Each structure stands twice: as C-alpha cells, then as structure tokens.
Structure 1
Amino acid sequence: MARQPIYSKSQDIVAFELLFRGQSGEDLSAIKDEEATFDVVVNTYANIVADGGKKFLPCYLKVTDEVLLAGTLPELPPALFSLEILGRSSISPEFVSKVREFAAKGYRIVLADYNPDDPKFEPLLNVIHVIKLDIQLLGLGALPGIIQKLRPYQLDLLADKVETKEEFRQCLEMGFSLYQGYFLSRPEPVKGKKISGSKIILLQLLAELNNEQATGASLEQIAINDAALTYKILRVVNSAAFAVPKEIGSLSHAITLLGMEQIRRWIMLFLTTAADGRPNELTRTMLVRGRMCELLAEINGYPNGMNYFIVGLLSQLDAMLDIEMAELMTEVPLSGEIKNALLHYTGTLGDVLSDVEHYERGQFEELSRGIDRAFYEVAYRHSLKWADQVMSALLN
C-alpha cells in the first residue's frame, strides 16, 4: 500500500489517494478482512503533520462496480474515506442507484477516467462530488470546453497527472480546485539562479564533514556565520525526532554526542527545507524517500546506509531549489558514486532509488525481485512515520 497526495490551489495536501494491490489486483482484500487495517490506514496513510500538530486527511479509495454491487465494501467512516469510481465501470441504472445510496450515507464520490465523449457517464454527473480530468489524455487545449460542459453540475474539478509547474499554473487559471501529479517534484530552472546564503553555509558544513580532519570546533566556526541556522539545528537535535540523553548546548557538544554521521544527516535535512527555512510538502516526500532508501539498503545488506539516505533525500533537490540536478552536482560536495546515482540511477544506490520511486507511485509491478514485496510496505510505513517526526521538529 502507498499513498499519493492530492493538493489544493495553495499546494497544501488535502487528501491522499490510496494505491494498493490485493490478492486479486485492485480488489479490496487488502483492507476488508481485518478491522485493524483501518487503524493502519488512518494512523499511517491518512495522518499528516502540519501547523505544528497532527491531522487526518480523507483517503480516496478506488472501488470497482463489482465491489459496490456485491455489497462487500466494509463500513468505512465517510469523513475519512471518499469512494473513487473507475471509468471502466459498467454504469447501469443499478450501479447509479448504489452510488447514490453511498452518497446519501455521507461519502464523497469521485469519478476517475472521465471521457466527455462517452454518454455513459451522464447519469453519474448529478450524483458525484469530484471529477478527475486526466490532463495528459484529454489535452490542455480541450479542457476549457469540457469544464464549460461540467459547470452546471457544480463539481470539484481535480486536475490529474499534472506533471509540471506550468501545467499547474494553466489548470489554476481554468478553475481547478484539486491537483494530483508530480508537478511539485519537477524543477523549473531559472537562468542564473543562485543558491541562497543559508544553503551555501550548509554546503560549506557538508564539505567540512567530508574532511577527515574535521572537528566539532571547525564545524562550529562555519555554523556561527548563520545564528538562526545554528539555533535551528540545535532545536531539531534536541527534539523528539532524535532521542539524545540530555540537552545539547552547542554544535560541538551535539557532534560529541551524536557523531559526525548523524550530524551529516541533519545537515542534509536542513538542505532540503524551502528557501525560508520552513519545510513544505516536497520536503515531506524527500524525507520519506531518504529514509526508505536507507531501510531498503539495510534489508538488502548493503553497506554505508547513510549514502542511500543521502541519495533518496537529495533526489528532488533540483525541484526544491529550481536548479538543474547536473548543475547542482557541481556545487554539492558528494562522492562520484552518489552523484551518478542521482544523475543516472547507476549502481545499487540508483537501483534502490528507482525502487522507492516506483513504490511511491504505486508501480508495484516495476519493483525489483531482490527482497520480498512485504518488506517494501514495512519500510514505507516506517518512513512515513519517521518523516512525520522530522516534519514536526522542523515546524517547531
């Protein structure tokens, strides 16, 4: 099971689409047999850290017409689950009646794979609440006409498969209220764009950490050039995201307690926050990727787990800074092995990163066969919870 975020106009996450495979493909066997599974969904996949606290977001659950008509759908809390109807469904009068029944119970109904040229969808338009429009399949040029046709139904329009920030901007102008896709993870390079001052100091710290002669004092001399950064590092290290035996009063003290490798981890985390030093939704994805890469490396028995963490964490640094990855790699003091994994997916570092990207997109059939599939979900769940801890620390 994995989750894909659904964003608002302001690029805040407002829901998650659940991506899963049961014993029979996209059936509900993965969630209907055990009530405890709902706790897993709510506490792992519907949970998010935002504004200094936890909140639960609705999950879009794909359901087939067979499941709806057979009455095998468990009693799900309508506040936490929206039912997503698939476009390949056989939309009979009985099916429409059943959908209307679920809507009357308080479920929000989402229609995916909408084809404006197929009249079979017409009976549903007065029943559903959200309609997903695949902008890659339908084409941006055709969308205004489709939106005009749908306007009388007063539906929430969800732009699906939004790949770039330019596509997001165009859909925003057309009046879409919801967005899904990888537009947050694609860079929008600006010619001559520079890395901010605080990021430069972080890169200097990272370079010093690669120096065998580095000491707590030498790192502290670099960090004191940005007092706010030093304070933030100490706050995070003192937080629940990383348990330490007692309060840490200085960076050199932190290094003594945690060691150079853990300090390197935190420098990487700060490098992935937004320009104002605040984490955003892209930060969350980068944290999950980094931790999951590290865990899969441990499960596979690969040495130097920290390198896998770095590769996963920095895999979207180009989107964070709006600078091409190739250009970034000339400025970031990393090994050639890590840089090649980020640029070309080479070696075991690149293989693990590729697996993690496939998993988060629900492309489970693309995963390598090196380890049992169940380990991927275990690593993913753990990474989501770990990312929440770190996000909470970064937000405080």
Structure 2
Amino acid sequence: MAGIKLNANDQNLPVLMARQPIYTKSQDVAAYELLYRDEQGNFIQGLKDDEATLAVLINSYSSVNANNQNENVPFFLKVTDEILLSNQLPDLPRHMFVLQLLAHTDVTPALINRLQQLAKQGYRLALSGFDPADTKFYPLLKVIHVLKLDIQLIGLHRIPNLVKKLKPFNLELLADKVETQDEFRQCLEMGFELYMGYFLSKPCLVRGKKISGNKVVLLQVLNELNNPKSSPQSVEEIALKDPELTYKILRVVNSAAFNVQKEVRSLSHAITLLGMEQIKRWVMLFLTKSEGGKPLELTRTMLVRARMCELMAEILEYETPMDFFIVGLLSQLDVMMDIDMSSLLEQVPLQLNVKSALLEREGPLGQVLKEAEIYETGEFDRLSDLLDRPFYEVAYRHSLKWADQVLNAMHT
C-alpha cells in the first residue's frame, strides 16, 4: 500500500490510454473499450511492431477482478477502413479484441470483403455510430456481430421499432450513452445485451437518506485517525462498535497484502505495527464496499481514481498525498450511497479543503481530482497538463493494477 516512484519510461506506451467498461444486463464487465490517442490522434501504432505494447495492454488494461480472481475481458478496438484495407492491422489475439468500425467508415465492396475475411479468421466485429436513416450502413449488418446504438442520438422513443427491424440480423445490441439508471432499465426492457455510458457514475438520489450504520462507524474511525491525539487504543475502541469491521481489517492485515512476521490479533496491535496512515487507508477502502446491489465495477473505479490522484500528488511533490487519495475515493461515494454530495458531506467530518475539492473542484486537491476524472473518460485534449503526458498513462496503469490487488485482498 506504500507509495511508489513512477518513471515516465516505465513500460511507457506510445499513446495516452484509458478504458471504458461495457456491461452485461447484470452490470458485470463484459469488455472494455479502449480510449487512446497518440500525438497525431492515430491508431495504436505500437501494436504493429511492438509485442511488448500488446503485452502491456492485455496485462494491465483488460484485467478485471471477478469472483475473487483476476480475469481478462476483451477490448473493443476502434479501427478505420484505411487500416483494415491497407493491412496495417497486426495479428491480434482473436479472443481479446473486438474490431470496432466507426460512423465515418467508407463502406465499399472491398471493405465488405475484408470484413468477411476477418470474420472467417475468428475476429468479432462491431459497428458504432449507426444511423438508421443512412442506407450505407445496412450492408454491414450482415457481417458484424455487435451493433452499438447511441440512444441519445437516435432517441429512446425510436429505439423499440428499430430493435424490431434489426432482429432478423441476429446482432448483439449494445446501448451506448446510457446516462441514468432509468435509461438503463428502459434499454434492458427493450432487449439490449450490452451497455455503455455513465449510468453508474450518478447517484439515484433517495430523499432524506442517511449514511448506513456501518459507514457511520467507518467515518467515526476515520475522524479519530485524523485526530493528532488519537492512539491505537482510542481507534480500536470505536472500531469495536462494529465487530465485522474489526474482523475485516484484521483479515486484510494478516493476508498477503502485508509482510507481517507474526499474526495480528487485535486492531490496536495492527495499528502499532503498521501505523495510523496504513490503517486510515484501509478504513477508506472499506467505505467503498458496495451497498444496495451496486456493481463491483463502481468500487474498482473509486479505487483507481483514488490511487491515481495520490500518485499524481506524489509526482507533483505535494504534501500529504493521502489527502488526494481521500478526495479521489470520496468523489464517487455519493453514487455508492445514492446521497447527494452536498448532503453527504454534511454528515461527514472532513477538512474544508477536502469538501471544497469534492463540491467545487477547488484548490490543488480539486485540480488533481478533475485531471483524473478527465483522463479516465479519455478526453485527453481537456487535460491541463499538470504532468508530462507520459506520467498520466503510467499513473493510470499502475492504479488499475493496484485496484485489482486491493480487491483481491479485501475479498480474500
């Protein structure tokens, strides 16, 4: 859990890279769409001639923790007709890549023939940017496997009739730009099998909802840990109000997550051995435990964002990187708890600069948080370049790996 020094040349990819999850009906991760941009905004050139780049992608960006195990899920990789027809596409692992055609694809007999060849070779093909009014797309429907429909562009009211028309093609339908849980439910009823969008990133507000009892104890422990006069015994006294919490912390500390020479039998003993900062971090992590059927991916996103904020703070040599971790983690606690952020913060004992960062994205804490949020959505042109560009990608990739390690430790 300790900080690490990042080197911009540490397995540096030739592009900025992020990932956006593609969900199943049960809101499990079925795949990730790769969001990338090199200096010219081109295809990942390194894939053509650098096997190490491919290994980094698969080992870092496709990893997902499910059922207490690390598994790899496929990528949706955007490709142009120029790349396909000029044979620039490397020999990619068929089970790991879905080739995604774009809206501006020039549909020609030569392209159709090339797609048929790729399908015979075992590649799965997807199409994004489908416009029902544009007849150029219809020849592709006989070749592709997955059709991505932008529900905001097409309009939800038009989707049911469109789904009926598409049924003879036996396509796997992916609802794109799903922004709310209500839109997700509507698409679910319409028969979509896959889903993309930020519907997991916004709270379903429940009027008057309070923080659950378990979370209250966690926040009380966190507040005590921030008290300069606190001791291992005073922290333990609060944590013992929730025996399950105490057990979880001890289980984590005794797991492979820490190199502890002897078994830790009490929380005060764990704090004495590991220090307040380490225990504080784990209390923060337990705050991310899913409530109300929230999917595991939301917890993963919270962890990735928290760690990336902390790493960026370390690179920038800011004091108290832990504060940046806290801001990153809490920035989606409103989504986890379905409580408006302003109402949530009224119930949480946090420093004023942390609250300002969460509500207004103000100060150094808010600036770093905003950068992390922009990066994870793949809107790389909006980055204010607090860091040299390669550091963003390396910090993001380290955060992905770290999040999976933590999820394993939390569920051991």
Q: TM-score range by the shorter chain?
A: over 0.9
Please show how residues 264-303 of structure 1 align to structure 2 within 5 Å. 264-275=280-291, 280-303=296-319
1:181 pairs with one of 188, 197, 207: 197
Q: Which moved more, 1:123-132 or 1:196-205?
A: 196-205
Q: Does 2:244 correspond to 1:228?
A: yes
Q: CA deviation at 1:259?
A: 1.3
Instruction: Name 1:97's counterpart in structure 2.
Output: 113
The alignment status of 1:117 with 2:133, answered yes or no, reads yes
The Cα of 1:202 is off from its aligned counterpart by 0.6
- Matching residue's letter, 2:405: Q
Q: Distance in 1 between matches of 2:261 and 2:356?
A: 38
2:7 corresponds in structure 1 to none
Per-residue deviation at 1:253? 1.0
Gaps of 5+ in 2: 1-16
Map 1:1-396; keep pairs closer than 5 Å: 1-275=17-291, 280-396=296-412
The amino acid that maps onto 1:313 is: L
Q: Deviation string for 1:263-310 (max 9, x for gaps)?
A: 111111001111379982100000000000000011111111000000
Cα pair distance change 1:365/1:379, threshold 3 Å:
same
Structure 2 vs 1, CA of residues 192 and 230 (structure 1 numbering), >3 Å: closer, same or farther? same
In 2, Cα distance between equivalents of 1:105 and 1:277: 39
Cα distance in 2 for residues equivalent to 1:85 and 1:387: 31
Between 1 and 2, higher relative CO (CA 8 Å, sep ≥ 6) is seen in 2
CA contact (8 A) 2:80 2:101 kept: yes
Amino acid in the other structure paired with 1:13? V
Question: Does the CA-based 8 Å contact 2:27-2:295 persist in structure 1?
Answer: no
Listed as ranges, the gaps of 5+ residues in structure 1 are none
| Residue aligned with 1:181, SS | coil
- 2: CA distance between counterparts of 1:248 and 1:277? 32
Tell which deviates more after alignment, 46-55 or 245-254.
Answer: 245-254
Say whether the 8 Å CA contact 1:52–1:395 is kept in structure 2: yes
Q: CA deviation at 1:192?
A: 2.2
SS of 1:20's partner is strand
What is the one-letter code of the residue matched to 1:300? L
Partner deviation per Cα, 1:123-179 (whole Å, 9 max, x = no partner): 000111100011111111111121111111111110111111111111111111100
Decide whether the 8 Å contact of 2:203 with 2:334 is kept in 1: yes
CA distance in 2 between counterparts of 1:303 and 1:30 reads 37
Q: Which residue of 1 aligns with 2:11?
A: none
- Aligned letter for 2:164? Q
Q: Distance in 2 between matches of 1:12 and 1:74?
A: 29
TM-score normalised per structure 2: 0.93
RMSD: 1.4
Instruction: Give the aligned length.
Output: 396
Output the CA distance in 2 between the equivalents of 1:32 and 1:354.
33
Q: Which amino acid aligns with 1:205?
A: V
Cα offset, 1:246, TM superposition: 3.7
CA–CA distance in 2 between the matches of 1:11 and 1:305? 32
Change (3 A) 1:279 1:201: farther
Change (3 A) 1:267 1:279: farther
Quick check: 1:135–1:161 contact (8 Å CA) kept in 2? Answer: yes
